Chains A and B, each alone.
Chain A
């Protein structure tokens, strides 16, 4: 589904990603872990199409297509969804209007009829339940005045509305208390199907108790330096990243 080959990315001349290789197949759950500042969010942003990053080398294939040549909106219409670490506040744009516009455009792109007002409202209601958001939500402005937890729940709500094939959730679990974490994690689990794939970028093992990964990767210094089974997440939680760093440095020294 997604194939990243030798991806090098820089911003303002500074290289952040230094040759990332990653392959995600249909139905898989991958976790990406790693210390702060190693480029996890950068990777998500490049997949989303953020223009301030320069891809200097490598490529990304999405269902065989060259992702880097697609517009930001076409990536979404083709089924990619990014749950952002820091969702943007958009005063004056209601969530209902936002989702209505997004769904209409995605459906048009796919050659589907637009939803009727009634169908749309019903869908909003159902999907809000997935993340236990109240219905009042729809008239509120996108993320404006939302608590950290509400913003993350709103990301998952949008994911539920847009039904992506590939969801990349960037620290959707950080800053959440245990109840909010359960809500978000259950939401993501409910949305899981055998044909869609999920990438969770996280610091903590606790989210992975709910969303069990098939593969865990460690991103360090702009590269994936280690991949393993879900036990790797447990080990990272216990031992931190120091040993990864040492392994990486001694491998480099040779």
Chain B
């Protein structure tokens, strides 16, 4: 099948990252252990997670690179898991490259040295969410290739929260691939929060393979980034798999965010639902590329994707390209996209009640963005995100006034 979806990544960004790999500093081994509290503090109030921290590409631990629970949940360093549980790791790491893998995916495959490994056996539900926090903190311009692997057994259930943050302001090139394998009836909620400095180049690719009746719930919030590309590729390989995607991006200044979502309905009776929203200010740029393929066998597929954008200035740049490629005849598919300004009529109405222009804009933008936060199923996370949205739209939250971080120089 011809792959019609071309990447949103521009040549300039491609070249900046890849043309001279030698320019990037690579940390070849983990730094000596330092207590996490010394440089990181999670501000999500009352969030009770099992926290896994990566610093400059390496799993941070105090002598225990892998933890296992009595139910058989394994969490920790992929490098270590590869040695200790090769049978659980290698089959996935040795899978051949997929059609959609580009040079960034190839680079990751070739260069990764660590990543997060999560394994849930059949019928096990993780007691609390697992949170991956990737931090960069170096004097040099870092390149990081992390490869994460999340394997859920039959009827297993997990909430996973991935936070990409910067501690310092140096340029960095971060090229992550996360492989997700969901067995029959498995359920994964995957929350991603991206808040990087303006110099960062962040590539997050997530490849999801779903067996029968499994459910994948993806929720992505982008608050700050230099350049950021989120790729999610989902493959439905057995009937009755279901995937849901929510995304929000709030970008301003010269930030640039690309979302590329690919959903491959290969078999009958699967569904996918997507809603991505963005507010694009100043000279920022956002591109949305959504591609749903419904293969000839995939009868009774239900697929919907919607992308809505608000541009706040004439220089804000948005392209929105949701598209469907359908080869089966008995399907329910639709897509829609909008790029527009704030509703003038609503602005007027709010102001006639005594609300100033600035606050009227805030109310409308918050309402627009908040819809996405409302889909979060972890209450503490939802509240924190809503607060971050409010602050972000208010201009209070920039990468220097870190949301979930205390800068080391402030500690």
In-complex Cβ contact of B350 among A49, A92, A98 (8 A): A98
User: Which of B113-121, B353-361, B391-399 is found at the contact surface with chain A?
Assistant: B353-361
Q: Is B368 an interface residue (CB 8 A)?
A: yes
Point out the residue from B350, B352, B357, B359 that lies within 8 Å of A90, measured CB to CB.
Answer: B350
**B352 touching A48 by the CB < 8 A rule?**
yes
Q: Shortest beta-carbon distance, A50 to chain B, in Å? A: 6
The yes or no answer to A73 lying at the interface (CB within 8 A) is yes
**Residues from chain A with Cβ under 8 Å of B343 in the complex:** 88, 90
A162 at the interface (CB under 8 A from B): yes
| Given A101-B359, A105-B356, A106-B354, A90:B349 Cβ within 8 A | yes
Q: Which of A48, A73, A82 contacts B355 (CB 8 A)?
A: A73
Tell yes or no: B364 within 8 A of A by CB: yes
User: A49-83: which residues lie under 8 A (CB-CB) from chain B?
Assistant: 49-51, 71-73, 75-77, 81-82
One digit per residue, 1 when the CB lies within 8 angstroms of any chain A CB and 0 when it does not, for chain B 325-369 equals: 000000000000000000101101111111111010001101110
Which residues of chain A are near B350, meaning CB under 8 Å? 90, 93, 98, 102
Q: Does B371 contact A (CB under 8 A)?
A: yes
- B22 shortest CB reach to chain A, Å: 49
A141 to B356, CA, bound (A): 19
For this complex, into which size category does the number of interface residues on chain A fall? 20 to 34
Is B370 interfacial (CB 8 A cutoff)? yes
- Evaluate contact between B346 and A77: CB separation under 8 angstroms: no
Contact with B along A81-97 (1 / 0, CB 8 A): 11010011011110001
Check A109 for interface membership: any CB of B closer than 8 A.
Answer: yes
A86 (CB) vs chain B CBs: closest residue: B345
Question: B10: shortest Cβ distance to chain A, in Å?
Answer: 33
Chain B CB within 8 A of A158 CB: yes
Q: Which residues of B contact A72 (CB under 8 A)?
A: 348, 351-352
Among residues of B, the one whose C-beta sits closest to the C-beta of A161 is: B353
Taking a contact as CB atoms closer than 8 A, the residue among A82, A97, A103 that contacts B352 in the complex is A82
* Residue among A49, A51, A97, A98 having the largest count of chain B Cβ atoms under 10 Å: A98
Residue of B nearest to A84 (CB): B349
Do the beta carbons of B349 and A73 come within 8 Å of each other?
Answer: no
**Residue from the set B366, B367, B368 with the largest chain A CB neighbour count within 10 Å:** B367
Contacting residues, chain A, for B370 (C-beta < 8 A): 92
Chain A neighbourhood of B368, CB < 8 A = 92
Q: How far is the CA of A106 from the CA of B352 in the complex (A)?
A: 11
Contact between chains at A105 and B349 (CB < 8 Å)? no
Within 8 A of B (CB), among A118-161: 141-142, 158
Whole-angstrom distance between the Cβ of A179 and the nearest chain B Cβ = 26
Scoring B346, B354, B366 by chain A CB atoms within 10 A of each residue's CB, the highest score goes to: B354
Residues in chain A near residue B363, CB distance under 8 A = 90, 93, 97-98, 101
Q: Which residues of A contact B353 (CB under 8 A)?
A: 76, 98-99, 102, 158, 162
Q: With the chains together, A71 CA to B347 CA distance in Å?
A: 13
Q: How far is the CA of A90 from the CA of B353 in the complex (A)?
A: 14
- Partner among A88, A105, A109, A162 whose Cβ is within 8 Å of the Cβ of B359: A105
What string of 1s and 0s marks CB contacts (under 8 Å) between A214-249 and chain B?
000000000000000000000000000000000000
Query: Which residues of the other chain, B, contact A162 by a CB distance below 8 angstroms?
Result: 353-354
- Tell me how far the C-beta of B196 lies from the nearest C-beta in chain A, rounded to whole angstroms: 27
Q: A90-B367, A91-B367, A105-B359 are known contacts. Are A76 and B349 too (CB-CB below 8 A)?
A: no
Complex-state Cα separation, A50 to B348, whole angstroms: 7
Q: Contacts A50-B348, A87-B349; is A101 near B367 (CB within 8 Å)?
A: no
Q: Which of A75, A84, A105, A106 has the most CB of B within 10 A?
A: A105
In angstroms, Cα B345 to Cα A142, docked, is 13
Instruction: Please state if A76 and B352 are interface contacts (CB–CB under 8 Å).
Output: yes
Complex Cα distance, B355 from A109, in Å, reads 11
Interchain nearest-CB distance for A154 vs B (Å): 11
> CA–CA, A5 to B377, complex, Å?
58
Report the minimal beta-carbon distance from B332 to chain A, rounded to whole angstroms. 24
Can you list 26 A-B pairs, Cβ within 8 angstroms, ordered by A? A48-B348, A51-B348, A72-B351, A72-B352, A73-B357, A81-B352, A82-B352, A87-B349, A88-B345, A88-B348, A90-B346, A90-B349, A90-B364, A92-B368, A92-B370, A93-B363, A93-B367, A98-B350, A98-B353, A98-B355, A98-B363, A101-B363, A103-B354, A105-B354, A162-B353, A162-B354
Q: Which residues of A contact B (CB under 8 A)?
A: 48-51, 71-73, 75-77, 81-82, 84, 87-88, 90-93, 97-99, 101-103, 105-106, 109, 141-142, 158, 162
